[in-house]
Amino acid sequence: MKLSRRQFFKAASGALAFASMPYVLKKAGIAGEKPIVVGNILDKTGFLNIYSLTQIQTVAMAVDEINAAGGLLGRPLELVFYDSQSNNTLNSQYMTEMWLKDGASVVHAGVTSSSREVMRPVTRKFKGLFFYNSLYEGGVCDRRHVCCAMTPAQQVEPLVPYVMNMHGKRCYILAADYIYGRTHAKWIQHYTRENGGEDIGVEHFPLDVDNFTAAISRIQAAKPDVVWSVLVGGAHIAFYRQYEQTIGKKNIPLASSVYGIGREQTVISADEADGIVIATQFHDDLGTDAANSFVNKVHQYTGNNDYVGDYGEYGYRGVNLWANAVRKA
């Protein structure tokens, strides 16, 4: 679903409050120039939208900032947004429309590896440029694809020995059942074994699963020292509630390299969240001047104090990385 400006205002909670507004472009002296179309395909609705909501806003914020500063190479940016609704058929369809109908120069899109892999061939076919501002399992060699987020090895290599030293060497892994989750689980196994540990169980769950009773029973029987979560999406959040109600982190600790990426901590209770060991690239309480400034800027732009997190930062970074590359090309 392509959203009009009025619909986008309502759907994205003010994310396009200033994007491409005529008076902003006029003030910047670029109102009469031909716009450069920047595409954005993300899950405003659907079961994976928890990853997209803030990124929709920060992509728009980055576009607004570039326009307010005089545009890109003296031309304004025009943001075109489609809600893919967590539907890969729509991801493919909208990516095609971006290149054929909207005339996009670049498209920032996707929150899962499966969405990326249906959009990447379309981008190659039409010789476009695709920025994937999301966690990425690695292994893709494609000159028309740019990834702006972490790979599992960057997170897991330092986190595994830290967790092992803190909690013990025997681990049980629960992961999402698609390419990212399966690859990520293998990296946890690799670094666990490399550091002298043992992975005593690995399970994968489809993205729509929200009942983990049987898996929790198997964990109780296996008695690992620590449980790793590579569970993603709205349905999988249920695991953290069910785990705390049964085993409890005080009995078998939890570690994760994806928890918090989808702002899970804003949905579950403090007791359910407290104590999960994570390794991530950005969070709102990082405490540096740059991080504080960015979070405050997003809050001012959106008019709310919602958690920004990694995916918000990834979207902002992706647009600015592309813009800087254009300036230097």
Query: For the segment 248-270, what is each residue's pLDDT rounded down to a tens digit?
Result: 999 999 999 888 877 788 788 88
- For residue 243, the model assigns a pLDDT of 96
Cβ atoms 34, 74 nearer than 8 A: no
Strand partners, 249: none
**33 vs 157, which has greater pLDDT?**
157
**91 vs 33, which has greater pLDDT?**
91
Cβ atoms 31, 22 nearer than 8 A: yes
Q: Which of 181, 186, 133, 136 is nearest to 321 (CA)?
A: 133
Segment 38-67 mean pLDDT: 93
- For residue 83, the model assigns a pLDDT of 94
**Which tens digit of pLDDT belongs to each residue from 111-132?**
988 999 999 999 999 999 999 9
- For residue 25, the model assigns a pLDDT of 64
pTM of the model: 0.85
Structure tokens at 185: 């689980």
pLDDT band at 172 (very low <50, low <70, confident <90, very high): very high
- For residue 197, the model assigns a pLDDT of 97
**What domains sit in the chain, N to C, each tagged with a CATH number?**
5-149+289-328 (3.40.50.2300), 152-278 (3.40.50.2300)
CA distance 318 to 8: 21
